[in-house]
């Protein structure tokens, strides 16, 4: 490659030779000169051996640098201008108010307590008439204690008593208490009860449960505890000092608590199905008389189908 460069450079200094005449041609022969022999520079690039810098001709060295090619630019989409929202009313600060969480009722009245759920129902009016008849039957001043004893199981003693209690509190505005006596299987599903009072774990005031209906409270028997005579006497006196009407649910007529309460009741009523007489319950009738109770009548239940 070096020799080639030297040859090219040498061509610049060569001089044209004199014209030579041929033997058979009278006209002179002109020497042929190629383009590269003219004074113009022939561009070249020489690549040398390892470690030798690359050499360029002067014309290439004067070649202006070309701009570096750039990648194509994507069209930029203009950002849409948000549509202004028209506010018809001025923005007011947020306000807050407190509402207490409704307390859960300790006792829920079942659908069979029609006097509570449907006070204008004809059956509710029948319970009001029954309550008035019982109150007129016990003519005495001051608080009255009425005990309803079921002649049979599932005769509806608790249903009748709770309907009477609702009528007394809501329609007759009497401060009323319902007392459950059957321990171990209370009809009134509340915690504690009279059993907790007897074992000293609960005060009597705490054992009384408010139903959510004004003037009507409940006292359950609790579980696994009998009611001795001394406790029954103390309970009866305490209740008379605080309530105008005490309705005792003696669902089991042979329960010991019912027997102990007979002497403290102003009126005892035997609950039987409609059409059944008291002849089959003479043992209970004699027990009431022996205990000093006052058996004042029968209450017949029926279900119209």
Give the start-to-end residue ranges of the domains of the chain.
146-273
**Which element (helix H / strand E) includes 178?**
strand 176-180
* Per-residue tokens: 213: 């209906």
Query: What does the pLDDT read at residue 19?
Result: 52
* 245, 143 Cβ separation under 8 angstroms: yes
Which homologous superfamily does the CATH classification assign to the domain defined by 146-273?
Answer: P-loop containing nucleotide triphosphate hydrolases (3.40.50.300)
Query: What does the pLDDT read at residue 244?
Result: 96
Provide the pLDDT confidence category of residue 267 given band limits of 50, 70 and 90. Answer: very high
Average pLDDT over residues 29-37: 52
Cβ atoms within 10 A of the Cβ of 157, count?
27
Provide the pLDDT confidence category of residue 32 given band limits of 50, 70 and 90. Answer: low
Query: What does the pLDDT read at residue 206?
Result: 85
* Per-residue tokens: 6: 């030297």
Cβ atoms within 10 A of the Cβ of 298, count?
14
3-state secondary structure of 300: strand
Query: What does the pLDDT read at residue 286?
Result: 86
Q: Is the pLDDT of residue 98 over 80?
A: yes
Residue with more model confidence, 245 or 195: 245
Show Cβ contacts of residue 14 under 8 Å, excluding neighbours closer than 6 positions.
37
Q: Is the pLDDT of residue 112 over 90?
A: yes
Q: Which of 147, 222, 140, 213 is nearest to 175 (CA)?
A: 213
pLDDT digits (tens, 9 = 90+) for 57-90: 666 666 666 777 777 767 777 777 877 777 677 7
- In order of 30, 150, 153, 155, 194, the CA distances from 255 in angstroms are 157, 11, 12, 16, 15
* 176, 143 Cβ separation under 8 angstroms: no
Provide the pLDDT confidence category of residue 6 given band limits of 50, 70 and 90. Answer: low
Cα–Cα distance for residue pair 239/231, rounded to 1 Å: 12
Query: What does the pLDDT read at residue 207?
Result: 86
Percent of the chain with pLDDT over 70: 67
For residue 4, which phi and psi values (nearest 5 degrees)? -60, -40
**Which element (helix H / strand E) includes 216?**
strand 216-219
Cα–Cα distance for residue pair 177/24, rounded to 1 Å: 161
The pTM for the full model equals 0.63
């Amino acid at each position: 490659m070096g020799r080639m460069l030297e040859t090219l450079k040498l061509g610049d200094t060569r001089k044209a030779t004199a014209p030579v005449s041929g033997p058979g041609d009278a006209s002179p022969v002109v020497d042929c000169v190629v383009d590269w022999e003219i004074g113009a520079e022939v561009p070249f690039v020489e690549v040398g051996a390892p470690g030798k810098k690359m050499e360029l001709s002067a014309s290439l060295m004067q070649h202006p640098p070309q701009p570096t090619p750039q990648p194509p630019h994507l069209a930029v989409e203009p950002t849409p201008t948000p549509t202004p929202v028209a506010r018809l009313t001025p923005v007011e600060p947020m306000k807050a108010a407190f509402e207490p969480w409704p307390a859960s009722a300790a006792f829920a009245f079942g659908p069979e307590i029609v006097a509570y759920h449907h006070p204008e129902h004809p059956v509710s009016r029948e319970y009001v008439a029954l309550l008035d008849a019982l109150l007129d039957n016990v003519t005495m001043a001051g608080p009255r204690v009425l005990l309803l004893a079921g002649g049979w199981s599932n005769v509806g003693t608790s249903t009748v008593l709770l309907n009477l209690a609702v009528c007394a509190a809501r329609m007759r505005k009497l401060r009323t208490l319902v007392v459950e006596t059957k321990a171990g299987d209370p009809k009134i599903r509340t915690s504690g009860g009279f059993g907790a009072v007897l074992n000293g774990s609960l005060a009597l005031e705490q054992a009384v449960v408010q139903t959510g209906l004004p003037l009507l409270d409940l006292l359950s028997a609790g579980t696994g505890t009998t009611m001795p005579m001394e406790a029954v006497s103390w309970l009866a006196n305490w209740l008379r000092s605080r309530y105008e009407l005490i309705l005792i649910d003696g669902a089991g007529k042979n329960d010991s608590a019912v027997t102990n309460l007979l002497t403290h009741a102003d009126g005892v009523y035997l609950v039987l199905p409609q059409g059944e007489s008291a002849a089959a319950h003479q043992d209970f009738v004699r027990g009431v008389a022996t205990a000093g109770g006052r058996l004042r009548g029968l209450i017949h239940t029926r279900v119209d189908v």
